[in-house]
């Protein structure tokens, strides 16, 4: 009986793991996004966000500002049409809460200077 329970638990865990992998590798967030944060200082107001599927199938990414500066995304989570990611810029945590609709992202960036409106469009494929 214990062996059967252990096997069943392992099988259920395996199925949920595969489902999570499929979700991240097929995420509508994958790709490049050209963004604008008009209220931000000019060096942080425009750029490209690049979201990829990492080695462990988790979403990873980076932000390349229009100045050429690159910042790695510390954490990304996607649930339904809600996207949250966090970065550290100049030693400060910056959290972005977004809604994804087809090829658009809209939401708020929470910074030490206050909340700022964020918009992004999927970048055209090269």
User: DSSP strand E in 7-113: where?
Assistant: 31-36, 46-53, 59-65, 70-79, 82-89, 92-101, 104-111
Domain edges within the chain: 2-122
What is the pTM for the complete model shown? Answer: 0.76
CA angle 77, 81, 87 (to 5 degrees): 35
Q: What is the pLDDT of residues 63-96, one digit of tens each?
A: 999 999 999 999 999 999 999 999 999 999 999 9
Q: What is the pLDDT of residues 23-59, one digit of tens each?
A: 445 788 999 999 999 999 999 999 999 999 988 878 9
CATH of domain 2-122: 2.40.128.120
């Amino acid at each position: 009986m214990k062996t059967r329970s252990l096997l069943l638990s392992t099988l259920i865990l395996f199925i949920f793991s595969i489902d999570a992998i499929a979700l991240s590798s097929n995420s509508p967030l994958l790709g490049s996004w050209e963004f604008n944060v008009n209220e931000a200082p000019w060096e942080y107001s425009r750029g490209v966000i690049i979201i990829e599927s990492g080695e462990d199938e988790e979403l990873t990414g980076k932000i390349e500002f229009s100045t050429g500066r690159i910042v790695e995304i510390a954490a990304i989570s996607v649930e339904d049409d809600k996207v949250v990611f966090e970065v550290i810029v100049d030693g400060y945590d910056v959290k972005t809460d977004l809604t994804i609709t087809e090829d658009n992202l809209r939401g708020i960036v929470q910074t030490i200077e206050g909340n700022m409106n964020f918009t992004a469009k999927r970048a055209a494929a090269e």
